[in-house]
Amino acid sequence: MTDPAARLRLIAAVADIPDGGLAFTYPSGPFPAGGILVRTAAGVRGWRNQCRHLAVPLDHDDPGRFTTGDRRHLVCGTHGALYRPDDGVCVAGPCRGAQLRGLPIVVAGGNVYLDLDALPEPLAAFRSDP
Ligand code: FES
């Protein structure tokens, strides 16, 4: 059994997550992958920073910009897909109905951790996509 402390990697304090979201990287096979933390009314959410239309970061064209001006949605700057921050569902744009890939985060003691043991296998998304 893995030591719980060893499998949790600190990402940030909840209080340090900006209103517009916080980018971070995590190990994903041989390459790092990008994630986003967002605070929502339902709690902190962790999403992979990758659009469901094309496999590009949401902030590909404007690094660090993840939300609309009113902060109601996460936005992909490439073609404008809008995602609900709480459940990651795309509500407008070319991938409407698709969902951002969630990351296994744990919120404890005012901090957000990534559960390294619960990360999806890096190539699983390619095998499960239609
Ligand atoms: S790549 Fe994100 S909407 Fe097209």
Considering its fold, how many domains does the chain have in total? 1
Question: How much distance in Å is there from the Cα of 108 to the middle of ligand 1?
Answer: 33
- The whole domain housing 87 covers 4-128
Q: Is the pLDDT of residue 84 over 70?
A: yes
Work out the widest C-alpha separation in the chain, in whole angstroms.
Answer: 45
pLDDT tens column, 18-31? 999 999 999 888 88
> Which atom from ligand 1 is nearest to the alpha carbon of 76?
2
Q: In angstroms, rounded to a whole number, what is the distance separating the alpha carbons of residues 92 and 120?
A: 26
CA-proximal residue: ligand 1, atom 1 (nearest): 54
Question: Which amino acid would we find at residue 12?
Answer: A
Q: What's the pTM?
A: 0.90
> Which atom from ligand 1 is nearest to the alpha carbon of 58?
2
Q: Residue 98 is part of a domain; what is its CATH number?
A: 2.102.10.10
**Cα 5 to Cα 1, 15, 66, 114, distances in angstroms:** 12, 21, 30, 11
> Which atom from ligand 1 is nearest to the alpha carbon of 80?
3
H/E stretch holding 34 reads strand 31-40
Number of neighbours of residue 67 by Cβ within 10 angstroms: 21
